[in-house]
Amino acid sequence: LPSGNLIVPVVKNANEKNLAELAADVNRLAENSRNNKLKPDEVQGSTFTISNVGTFGSLMGTPIINQPEVAILALGIIKKRPEVISGKDGDEIAIRSMMYLSLSFDHRVVDGFLGGSFLRKVGDYLEQFDTNTTF
C-alpha cells in the first residue's frame, strides 16, 4: 500500500497466547506489513483493535470502531507526571509514568459495566507490569 494508508494486521487466537507470543506475532506482522508481504488472511477476521496513538506524541485519542469489530482501545503516550500517592506519612506527591487508555465499544454487544470493568483490568495489569521483563 502507498505510504499513509491504514492497514490493520490481525493477531489470530490472541486469547490463547502469552505476552511473549503476542509480541512475536505483532513483530512478525509489522515486518510483513513494512515489506508489503501481508497475506489476505492476516488482515481479516479481527474483533478488537489496539491503536497506539502515543507513538505520535498524542496524550490521548478517541478511537472509532472499525466495523464489524466490537471494540477498539487507544493507548496514549507515556509521560512522567506528578501524582498524589499514599506514603507512610500520608499523602505525598511523586513522579509517576502515566498513560491514558480510551476504549470505544459497541453497546449492542458489550454492556457498559463490562466495558468499564475490562478497561480497569487492563489498567491494573499495566500498573503491575515489571518493566525489567525480558522477552
Active-site residue, from 41, 91, 107, 130? 107
CA distances for 126 relative to 45, 68, 84, 98, angstroms: 27, 27, 18, 10
Is there a catalytic annotation at residue 107? yes
- What amino acid is encoded at 12 in this protein? K
Closest CA to 50 of 28, 66, 37: 66
Contacts of 100 (CB under 8 A, 6+ apart): 59, 60, 75, 76
Catalytic residues: 107, 111
